[in-house]
Amino acid sequence: MCGIAGIIGCNNPYFSKDIQGLLQRRGSDQKGLYEKDLVTLIHTRLKVTDLNHGQQPMIFSEGDFEIALICNGNLYNAQELRIELKNLGHKFTSLSDTEVLLHAYVEWQEKCVERLNGTFAFAVWENHNKRLFFARDRMGVKPLFYARRGEIFIFGSEIKTLLAHPLIEPQIDIDSIAEIMLIGPGRTPGYGVIKGIEEVLPAYCGFFYQSNPNNLQLWPYWKLEDKPHTDTFDQTTEKVRELIIDSIKRQIAYDVPMGTFLSGGLDSSIISSVTNSYFRKQSIPLHTFSVDFKDNERFFQSNPFQPGNDHPFIEKMTDYLGSTHHRILLDTEKLVDALYDAVDARDLPGMADVDASLLLFCKEVKKHVTVAMSGECADELFGGYPWFRDKTIRDREGFPWSKSNEYRMSFLKPELAKAINTSYVEERYGQTVAKTNILPNISPLERRMKEMINLNLQWFMQTLLERKDRMSMYNGLEARVPFCDYRIVEYLYTIPWEMKNYKNREKGLLRLAMEDFLPDEILWRKKSPYPKTYNPSYLQTVSNRLKETIADTSAPILRIINKESLENLLKIENHAHNSVPWYGQLMTTPQTIAYFLQLNYWLEKYHIQIV
């Protein structure tokens, strides 16, 4: 895990040093720089594999042929590619997967991406052709933003790296405001919110040609396609099992300390158990990590989404594994303070305390390990969320995790509300559904489930992956997500819903496939989301801070948000009745208040101009 950035078309040594400083949290172990003929490539490295080698930028030169590579991420099929490349005559000097990627590009050029299994964002400068190639992994686990200003091309792992350049001004327009208020904390795929900043889409790659009027080309190298599912139920179960075990095995890190996140839920328990089975063979103790909140047991409120506390299930699982467990307890004041660090990490207002708690959690995890595995993507693939199973929600048009457009619009200043395209959200929803690849002549239910999976992969999962990357890398922790292996995604997409819905249970197929890795209490536990605080002091603290913020008539949030609507949100007597979710299951009234705190901080800290 690393940080990358670059600029084609101009040189500025001060800019290069500034960027390396901004990327230091993503990789504090090494710094690297490539500068030649108005081209600069910047790298910061977090050492995970082959610690004594792998310095970047990595250069290959042979006669007039010269390329320089920078990469953020990992290749999980590096061993197979190394053997294939050796058979083609390539020679290696290290065990670094970066060197494998370098030689793969030498051998296959832009076609190399079709052979990669990993999570990555990388760029290759071809000095002999005066062009830059760049690519992002299929699932969008690793970020890559860019901006173009004529013949100048700037790119980086995070938005802040682009904003460091004087050509990129922190400006937002009416579409940006619509994005923040109607889509946020999600983002339209490829949209960087700040004017002129875009993100390379997952599974996309491209070329930027120096001194060429038509200098930018982008195209997809992979698409999720529906195919006939011919395997029997038993064959399907076994194939799912094989793919999951293989993905976890490939992502185990042995060169640095590694652990797993463990919530006591199905997904993290599977990953922990499979990892533990490999660790035991090498007599390595597994470290597991969970997060909780001060006084949560006292104030916990059971609800349909979170029927019980995680702690008893975590204890059951750690006893089963024999792991060294670390329970990380967060208090309210630090959680609220971390709302602002979470904005610095994401470069945008985000998932409020859902982000902040993960950021603090990762800070503590980093004290023990360099790499941790996490369970993102299982719910999207196996149909774990409530909106997959509630027919009323499932059949309703629109994003199922964000059904509050009217509520969201009510906060905007009237002149801004009038200026926003009234179908902003609906158009994006419709475009995604229309592009869903679905076989003809299937049942309406099966068609809708394919649409739901695609919506979740393209939108909801991207928000969670962005959260996981920024909050973990803010602390120099590499968080790996084995369920995001594209082979699992491809196979799961073809499986009929009736198979996934085994025993009429959420993620029933996953439970069956991995049943011998878990005790029954964990295997058949009802899904429970990421934990959040129920301590009333949290609501009180964020409410007090927002009151203080909007008491200042110069508060930047008041340029966008109607003050009266915020005052109404803060009225204690309205809290019990004003529980409209802002986003998903976790962002209700306290998190909505916190989101506005983050928005105000972002506008101020990033010197955002409205144009």
Distances (CA, A) of 361 to 93, 327, 346, 354: 37, 10, 16, 11
Bridge partners, 153 (sequence order): 8, 148
Strand arrangement of the beta sheet that strand 371-373 belongs to: 324-330, 287-293, 258-261, 371-373, 478-480
β-pairing, 58-62 vs 65-75, is antiparallel
Distance CA 10, CA 149 (A): 11
Residue 278 near residue 252 (C-beta atoms within 8 A): yes
> Residues 200, 4: contact at Cβ < 8 Å?
no
Token representation of residue 478: 């590499």
Question: Which helix (DSSP H) or strand (DSSP E) does residue 536 occupy?
Answer: helix 536-551
Whether the Cβ atoms of residue 476 and residue 363 lie closer than 8 Å to each other: no
Q: Which residue has the tokens 């920024």?
A: 470
Q: Among this protein's residues, is 71 annotated catalytic?
A: no
Pairing of strands 171-172, 204-209: unpaired
| Buried residues in 84-120 as b, exposed as e (16+ CB within 10 A) | bbeeeebeeeebbbbbbbbbbbbbeebebbeebbbbb
Q: Which residues contact 512 (CB under 8 A, 6 or more apart)?
A: 237, 502, 503
Closest CA to 257 of 324, 327, 329: 324
Q: Which two structure tokens, joined as six digits, stand for 550? A: 């909007």
Query: How would you list the strands of the sheet with 39-45, edge to edge?
Result: 30-36, 39-45, 2-8, 152-156, 145-149, 198-199
CA distance 216 to 155: 13
DSSP for 190-242, written as a single string: TB-SSTT-EEPPTTEEEEEETT-TT-EEEEES---------S-HHHHHHHHHH
Q: Tokens 């809708």 — which residue?
A: 448
Give the span between the Cα atoms of 163 and 606, in whole angstroms.
9
Q: What CA–CA distances, in Å, run from 573 to 417, 577, 588?
A: 27, 8, 16
CA 46 to CA 138: how far, in whole Å? 22
CA 137 from centre of chain: 12
Could you please report the per-residue DSSP string of 380-398? HHHT-SHHHH-HHHHTSSS
CA-nearest of 205, 175, 182 to 429 is 182
Query: Active-site residues: which are they?
Result: 2
